[in-house]
């Protein structure tokens, strides 16, 4: 069994004790974590977004910080600020909330664009530049951002450049009747989550991802999906080149979690909508309606773009 598969099994076992019935979401977040990407949870209040992020951090034995995004939040609250030492007068940099390993950016769209943009360098380059100095962030650095698709008043929609930096956009959604009954049955007996995966194991799994092979026909299939999204009549802005690379890496992670060292078209299909839809733009729709429309377009593309036959990719 590979390091990646072991890690996925352990995280699924640990997180599912508190997040019931969401194994698929857990695996997708694990895939993003292995790829070194970030996740946007677009969901209504009370579905377990904060609990998910905190349980993930507890399962990994890493530092965790939750910061509530509000209109008065400043960039310095995130990245830090230099203040003079009262004794020497020398300015010293006091690190902000991003100097952690798992950052929960709660209701990220409630902060002003200036504050939102403070995360761009952190998410892409894993570093902070302040007062002419560059500070590296500790590995792993993983952002889970949330936003509420129901209450849009007083919010600031994320710019396309920032949406493109999220590897996945996911939704936990409501539980089924049976799952909600199971949750109520154990609500008073849930024990604290203890670490089941070390940082060293996670970094080893990330390194192992490069051993997953992708045949030329499957690579062509990924590129064809991206190009089809750009040429679709209902889409104003299709998948970016960064998005194509993200779909490639995520497909590798999905294959590795299932215990394979090669990618199939089904791996690509299983993650395509979650990876592509939030990066695409339609004409004149609100953000949440836009994502739903783009997911429908992606599903359409998965049925229309020719899929390589097994003899070509196996």
Q: What is the dihedral of CA 67, 70, 71, 77, to 10 degrees?
A: -20
* Residue 155: C-alpha distances to residues 69, 93, 107, 113 (Å): 10, 30, 9, 10
Q: Rounded to two decimals, what is the model's pTM?
A: 0.92
Tokens linked to 40: 């946007």
- CB atoms closer than 10 angstroms to residue 129: 12
Residues β-bridged to residue 196:
none
Instruction: Give the pLDDT of residue 311.
Output: 58
The pLDDT tens digits of the residues spanning 123-133 come to 999 999 888 88
Instruction: Give the pLDDT of residue 12.
Output: 93
pLDDT of 93 higher than 90: no
SS (HEC) of 125-191: HCEEEECCEEEECCCCCEEEEEECCCCCCCCCCCCHHHHCCCCEEECCCCCCHHHHHHHHHCCCCCC
Q: 102-106 and 142-147 as β-strands: parallel, antiparallel, unpaired?
A: parallel
* Residue 250: C-alpha distances to residues 28, 212, 297 (Å): 9, 11, 20
Inter-residue contact 167 to 38 (CB < 8 Å)? yes
Listed in sequence order, the residues at least 6 apart from 138 whose beta carbon sits closer than 8 Å to its beta carbon are 63, 99, 100, 101
- CB atoms closer than 10 angstroms to residue 184: 9
| Cis previous bond, 140, omega within 30 | yes
H or E element at residue 118: helix 118-125
pLDDT of 35 higher than 90: yes
Mean pLDDT of 109-123: 90
Average per-residue pLDDT in the chain?
88
Distance CA 208, CA 243 (A): 22
The pLDDT tens digits of the residues spanning 195-220 come to 888 889 999 999 999 999 999 999 99
Residue 176, Cβ density class (10 Å: 0-12 exposed, 13-18 middle, ≥19 buried): exposed
């Amino acid at each position: 069994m590979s390091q990646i598969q072991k890690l996925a099994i352990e995280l699924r076992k640990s997180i599912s004790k508190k997040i019931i019935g969401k194994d698929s979401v857990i695996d997708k977040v694990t895939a993003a974590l292995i790829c070194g990407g970030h996740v946007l949870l677009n969901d209504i209040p009370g579905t377990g977004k904060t609990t998910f992020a905190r349980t993930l951090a507890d399962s990994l034995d890493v530092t965790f910080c939750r910061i509530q995004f509000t209109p008065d939040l400043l960039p310095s609250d995130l990245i830090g600020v230099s203040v003079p030492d009262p004794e020497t007068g020398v300015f010293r940099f006091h690190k902000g909330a991003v100097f952690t390993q798992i950052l929960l950016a709660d209701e990220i769209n409630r902060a002003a664009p200036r504050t939102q943009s403070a995360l761009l360098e952190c998410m892409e380059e894993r570093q902070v530049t302040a007062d002419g100095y560059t500070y590296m962030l500790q590995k792993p650095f993983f952002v889970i951002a949330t936003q509420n698709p129901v209450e849009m008043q007083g919010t600031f929609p994320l710019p396309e450049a920032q949406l493109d930096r999220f590897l996945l956009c996911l939704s936990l959604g409501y539980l089924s009747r049976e799952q909600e009954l199971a949750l109520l049955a154990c609500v008073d007996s849930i024990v604290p989550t203890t670490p089941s995966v070390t940082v060293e194991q996670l970094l080893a799994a990330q390194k192992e991802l490069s051993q997953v092979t992708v045949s030329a026909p499957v690579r062509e299939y990924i590129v064809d999906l991206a190009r089809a999204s750009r040429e679709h009549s209902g889409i104003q802005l299709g998948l970016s080149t960064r998005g194509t690379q993200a779909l490639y890496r995520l497909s590798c992670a999905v294959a590795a979690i299932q215990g394979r060292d090669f990618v199939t078209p089904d791996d690509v299909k299983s993650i395509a909508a979650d990876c592509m839809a939030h990066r695409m733009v339609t004409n004149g729709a609100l953000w949440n309606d836009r994502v739903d429309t783009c997911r429908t377009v992606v599903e359409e593309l998965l049925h229309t773009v020719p899929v390589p036959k097994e003899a070509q990719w196996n």
